[in-house]
Amino acid sequence: MALELITSREVAAPIGPRIFLCIFGYGGMEHYTVEGALREMLLMAKENTAFALHMVHGDALISRSRSKAFSVFMESGNFDVCVMLDHDIQWQPGALLGLAKKAHERQALTAGIYACRGFGRGCASRLNQEASKFTPGEDKLLEAEYLATGFWACPRTVGEEILKNGTERVELFQSHDKFSPVVANWKITECVYNDGTFFYDYFRPIAVPSTLPATPHEYASEDWAFSWRARQANPNRPLYAWTLPHLVHHGSYGFTMKTAYLRE
C-alpha cells in the first residue's frame, strides 16, 4: 500500500524526517486528540515536513491493528519515522512533531510519558530504575525498559532490526536446535488481515522473564512486547522516554449524586 507524502507545494525538498502518522480511533476519538492532530499536521505542512496520515479503525484488537499499521509503514519505504497516537491523548502544540524529530535524530524508539487511566496506577511506560525520578516538563530523554505507544515514535531502523531478528535469526536458531521460549518470543510471523492483505505481528503480546523482584514472568501487552523485541534485536540501542511534553490521558469517570455537589 503506497501512501502519498503530504508537504508544502511551495518548497521542492521536504525538511526533516518523513513522518508516517498513525491514529487509532476505534470506538471514537477525544476532541482534544482530533484538534491536536489537525494542528500538528498544519505545523508539519508549514515547516515543509513530509508526512502521511494513516487512520486505523474498525478493528477492536489493538495488537493486530498496530501490527498492521506498522507493516504498512515498513512496506511503504517512503517514510523515516512511524508515529503512533492513541485516541485519548492531549499534548501541547509542536510536541508530536518534536517527538518524531527526537526519534529520528537519536535513531531510537522514543515516547512521551503519560499516566495510566486510573487513580494511583502510575505511568504507562516503565523507566529504568536510575531514571525513575524526573521532573515533568524538563527536556530530557530518560532510558526506559518499556514504552507505551499512545504518544510514540519509531525510526525505520528499529523496525528493520526487529524484523531481521524475528525472521532470519529465529530460523538460524531453529536450524541449530537451539529454539527456546525466549527465541519463540522474538519470532515475527506473516499473517493475513481481515481485508485479505498481509502483515507481520510486530506487536503480538508475549510472556517474558520479569525484571521485578519475586515475579518470574510478566505478561507484556502489545506496546511493551514491541519494546522487548526492540531490546532483544539490538541491546545497544536505548529506548527513550521524553519528559518535555505535557501529556493528558483522557478517560471516563463514573459520576454520581455524591459528586454532583463536589468540586475538583
- The CA-atom distances, in angstroms, between 52 and each of 36, 45, 200 are 16, 11, 21
Q: What is the pTM of this model?
A: 0.91
Series of mean pLDDT values for 10-residue runs along the chain (264 residues):
59 80 93 96 94 92 97 94 97 97 98 89 86 82 96 98 93 73 89 94 95 88 97 96 94 72 62
**Rounded CA gap, 203 and 152, in Å?**
14
Cell, residue 90: 492531549
Looking at residue 130, its pLDDT comes to 66
| Amino acid identity for residue 172 in this structure | L
Place of cell 506498522: 70
pLDDT at residue 1 in the model: 47
137 torsion bin: left (phi>0), alpha (psi -120 to 50), beta (else): left
- DSSP H or E run through 238: none
The C-alpha atoms of residue 56 and residue 53 are separated, in whole angstroms, by 10
Which cell goes with 221? 501487552
Among 95, 97, 105, 69, which Cα is nearest to 223's? 69
Kindly report the CA angle at 117 between 67 and 22, in degrees rounded to 5? Answer: 30
Give DSSP secondary structure letters for 12-53. Answer: SS--S--EEEEEE-TT---HHHHHHHHHHHHHHHHTT--EEE
The CA angle 175-207-181, to the nearest 5 degrees, is 20
> Using CA atoms, how far apart are residues 245 and 229, in angstroms rounded to an integer?
26
- The dihedrals phi and psi of 72, each to the nearest 5 degrees, come to -60, -45
**Pairing assessment for the beta strands 51-56 and 19-24 based on DSSP bridges:** parallel
Cα angle: 176, vertex 177, 183; to 5 degrees? 95
Measure Cα distances from 156 to 20, 73, 147, 248 in Å: 10, 8, 17, 27
Ordered structural domains, the chain, with CATH: 19-158+237-249 (3.90.550.40), 159-233 (no CATH)
Spatial neighbors of 90 by CB under 8 A, at least 6 apart, are: 30, 32, 33, 36, 247, 248, 250
